[in-house]
Amino acid sequence: MKKLLTPIICLICILVVLLNIDSITDKIIFFLNQTNTTKIEIKNNYYKSNNYTFVSNTDNFTPYGIEDILNIMYSIINSGTTNFTFYCPKEYESCVNDMKKITKDKTLLTHLNNFVHPFNSFSSIEASISDSGEIIIKINYLYTEEEINQIEAKVKELINTLITPNITEDYDKIKTIHDYIINNTKYDLENRDEMNSHKAYGPLFNNVATCNGYTDLMAIFLTEMGYDNYKVATTEEVDENTEGHVWNAVKIDDTWYHLDLTWDDPVSSDGKDYLYHKYFLIDTEELQTADANITSTDHVFDEVIYSELKPLNKN
């Protein structure tokens, strides 16, 4: 009887292991990776070394809270890395759940995207999140290499042509680019994908843009000219019939200003082209004043995320 009992017990153990192989493997990987260290080996030419209140670059890819996860995600996107893997430590018990929430939050991911160079902005993010704590991130970037090369060459050419030696003030330099984009662009009411109006390519080569196209192109010019900047997005869509809005923020002499080319290039009822400076290099209080008689919520933004733009009269 004893001779029969031993192989039966062994068979039962083997069956238990086979039925739970995925769970057991996950746990083994989890504990083996507690000392795993990861780093971004290569940062492309569009990596921004700038840090902001909401997100900062990090070389520590072991998260211990949501803020750490956001910094890790920002650093991955900002570097231009296509694939990256990091691990949740056993001390951070809610890490996997927090990671799942963040990667499903499209609004939050959009805000993260706004802090990187447009050429490193993503069209989508794929996340494989194991119960063991292994996080695999795949970034699908918005701009193709061919588009980047064409846009970058044209932007440099225009800066050399438009910013003449007698234009020395920051205000005048940025105004020159602001006016050039508006004078050569119409708002794409049809949002035509084939015109790339949602990217910098649209206004630069096809003379049409949505707010995303205006903003991306201005951000590329600002970065090329040496100005710290990022994009600002409305907090959320008001309803299913409305779309969010995006515009630029730029830092000049340690002060952050708003810059909205879309609203300075209005769609007119008479068909004429207009060039405004109502939303050109203004602070948040001036932005609120400019919007005082308008029912639109286009410029309602999260002051926690974009805290550099927080009104001066707020603590």
Hey, what domains does the chain have and what are their CATH numbers?
A: 19-141 (no CATH), 145-309 (3.10.620)
Q: What is the pLDDT of residue 283?
A: 97
Task: State the Cα–Cα distance between residues 38 and 72, nearest whole angstrom.
Answer: 11
What does the DSSP 8-state code read for residue 115?
T
Three-class SS string for 161-221?
A: HHCCCCCCCHHHHHHHHHHHHHHCCEECCCCCHHHCCCCCHHHHHHCEECHHHHHHHHHHH
Q: Any bridge partners for residue 246, and if so which?
A: 233
What the block records as the tokens of 130 is: 């194991």
Q: Which candidate, 66, 67, 62, places its Cα nearest to that of 34? A: 62
Task: State the Cα–Cα distance between residues 283 and 286, nearest whole angstrom.
Answer: 5
Q: Helix (H, G, I), strand (E, B), or coil: what is residue 251?
A: strand
Task: State the Cα–Cα distance between residues 315 and 312, nearest whole angstrom.
Answer: 8
199 and 149 in contact (C-beta within 8 Å)?
A: no
Task: State the Cα–Cα distance between residues 200 and 203, nearest whole angstrom.
Answer: 6
pTM, full prediction? 0.87
Phi-psi domain of 78 (left: phi exceeds 0; alpha: psi -120 through 50; beta: other) = alpha
Q: What is the pLDDT of residue 33?
A: 45
Cα distances (Å, whole numbers) of residue 129 to 3, 97, 105 = 45, 9, 15
Task: State the Cα–Cα distance between residues 98 and 280, nearest whole angstrom.
Answer: 38
Q: What is the pLDDT of residue 29?
A: 47
CA angle (81, 87, 93) in 5-degree steps:
140
Query: Locate tokens 């030419």: which residue?
Result: 45
Task: State the Cα–Cα distance between residues 115 and 11, nearest whole angstrom.
Answer: 56
Task: State the Cα–Cα distance between residues 2 and 267, nearest whole angstrom.
Answer: 89
Task: State the Cα–Cα distance between residues 168 and 34, nearest whole angstrom.
Answer: 54
Query: Locate tokens 């008689």: which residue?
Result: 293
Averaged pLDDT in 10-residue chunks for the chain of 315 residues: 54 56 49 56 94 97 97 97 96 97 96 98 96 96 98 98 97 98 95 93 97 98 98 72 84 97 87 90 96 89 96 69
Task: State the Cα–Cα distance between residues 111 and 107, nearest whole angstrom.
Answer: 6
